[in-house]
A and B are shown apart, each in its own frame.
Chain A
């Protein structure tokens, strides 16, 4: 069993009904890496993410998490695996009828044997980690979009996951808030050695925190390029790679 990779996908084919969105996708993410899935709109970034976190089944191929195959037939193993995942959804996806503390404490309540007090303390700690100390008793509707995302991150971190998935963390945020979120992602990785998989198209995030990126393209279902973003931007002669990186005007800064 080779468990040196957090995620290892081989020959992955993803799609809905009769439409194949991604085919022949193989990649591996080492433990503790900040891995970005990038590409323009409609290239299948979010589709890939939804398949990785088990909301959909790939039509072909396998994904191994720490050497374990995500098998839908074995419900117990599937649940055990899901417990080691944290997911930050695009809108934060906080449960609107619960306070922030209750939102973060709910995964702990469902999956650990902690007492109510311990759950509350830990939830407050996670909220403090994302800079939301003092907002424990607020409801999601009472805070701003950026705060909601951070609270979503606190909830994703509640169970100290081995892998955290981020779906467009900077969507709908101003540049300053989204830089702060980037710093938080980096901090999470550095503190716990968590593997982070980020779906994004924001060049600023990609260049500031990504260890490696995988570029997906719309015209060709599958991976176009994989590697260190700076190196790709500088050396790749693939027109699709150049196009993606140049449209953010970052090429000038890199020269």
Chain B
């Protein structure tokens, strides 16, 4: 047994008897120490036969096996006979296993042909589209059922999710919205100053915050914060067979887990967007008064001439849509997650990517729609 204090040394003694080479092995063979190599032993000698002996009291492990394995391989190459009969049975048995392991050690080919990969990816995309459609359908059905029987809705879960994704997100939403207002004011000031129209900074910020940036920035923050959390949480529940437990109880996981989360987000997102509008406008006001010497009252009055309720409403409508999108992509990716630690991580990443992609798509769709409607 190797101990820490002794320094293990493997000993080899060779003796030439006619055309045979007798190799006597002893000492301590340890895989963690330096091992003797086979090749130098037979440098310049060409024995026709090899005979191996194991001295009594030899301490050996896999390193001896590797040594004997390379000796056997050499013997096979040279056409020399290899006599292992005097080695212990245990050692010979393991050596046989090493031999067959080496013979079988051809790594499997896992590479795929380019066209197969493209085909598989296309099929995957198609399946994904189907899954998303099915999930949206399931959510709609479940929402309709809940609308008929609102007492069955899990209000308590919904409220705690609201707290998580709403109140808890206030600090980060505040900071980001305020800074967006500030940067917008700076950017606007550069151009508007050239025309002597500094005061229009108020219009620019008021419009862009209420119509675009408020909802958009909140949605992106929540996609990263809440969407990823939903995916990780539900993915973990799936790995834990909690989803299966719900299904076997006859409870739809969509009713139980997905709907409360989506409702929470769809309700909280407009509120957060409204809050974000205020913070952005405040940020702009700060820059306007400090850099462009526009008094806050003038800024406010000017903003009111251009921003009306319909601007705010379009922003809020968008925010509610984004809330549904973030909640849906988080829950969907969570439900689709692989049952492993890596699967949960992938689900969270994919929830954020899907969420942001769909948010931008929906935003463009609304831009076209509102333009056509003249809102």
Contact = CB atoms under 8 A, between A and B. Distances in A.
Contacts of A190: 90
B168 to A, nearest CB: 28
Given A120-B105, A124-B102, A133-B104, A68 B32 contact: no
A112 B35 CA distance: 10
B34 interface: yes
Given A3-B3, A136-B105, A121 B69 contact: yes
Given A96-B342, A137-B107, A128 B101 contact: yes
Given A97-B342, A191-B94, A68 B4 contact: yes
A83 interface: yes
Interface in B95-126: 97-98, 100-102, 104-105, 107-108, 110
B183 interface: no
Contacts, number: 90
B293 to A, nearest CB: 60
Nearest to A113: B34
A181 interface: no
Contact of A121 (B5, B94, B105, B108): B105
A152 to B, nearest CB: 16
Interface stretch (B58-66, B194-202, B314-322, B366-374): B58-66
B63 to A, nearest CB: 8
Interface in B23-69: 30-32, 34-35, 61-63, 65-66, 69
A160 B30 contact: yes
B66 A128 contact: no
Given A83-B32, A122-B62, A193-B1, A128 B100 contact: yes
> Interface size class for chain A?
35 or more
B51 to A, nearest CB: 23
Interface string B331-344: 00000000011100
A66 B4 contact: yes
Given A67-B5, A77-B4, A160-B62, A112 B104 contact: no
Contacts of A55: none
A111 B33 CA distance: 9
Contacts of A1: 5
A107 to B, nearest CB: 10
B31 A108 contact: yes
A68 B5 contact: yes
B2 interface: yes
B138 to A, nearest CB: 28
Interface of B: 1-5, 30-32, 34-35, 61-63, 65-66, 69, 90, 94, 97-98, 100-102, 104-105, 107-108, 110, 340-342
27 contacts: A31-B1, A66-B3, A66-B4, A67-B3, A67-B5, A68-B4, A80-B4, A84-B4, A96-B340, A96-B341, A96-B342, A112-B31, A112-B32, A114-B31, A120-B105, A121-B98, A124-B102, A125-B62, A125-B65, A128-B100, A129-B97, A133-B100, A136-B107, A137-B107, A159-B32, A160-B61, A192-B61
- Of all A-B residue pairs in the complex, the 6 with the closest CB atoms, nearest first, are A124-B101, A160-B61, A137-B108, A66-B3, A125-B98, A125-B101
Given A128-B101, A160-B30, 10 more contacts: A101-B107, A111-B32, A113-B35, A114-B66, A121-B66, A121-B98, A122-B66, A122-B98, A128-B97, A162-B3
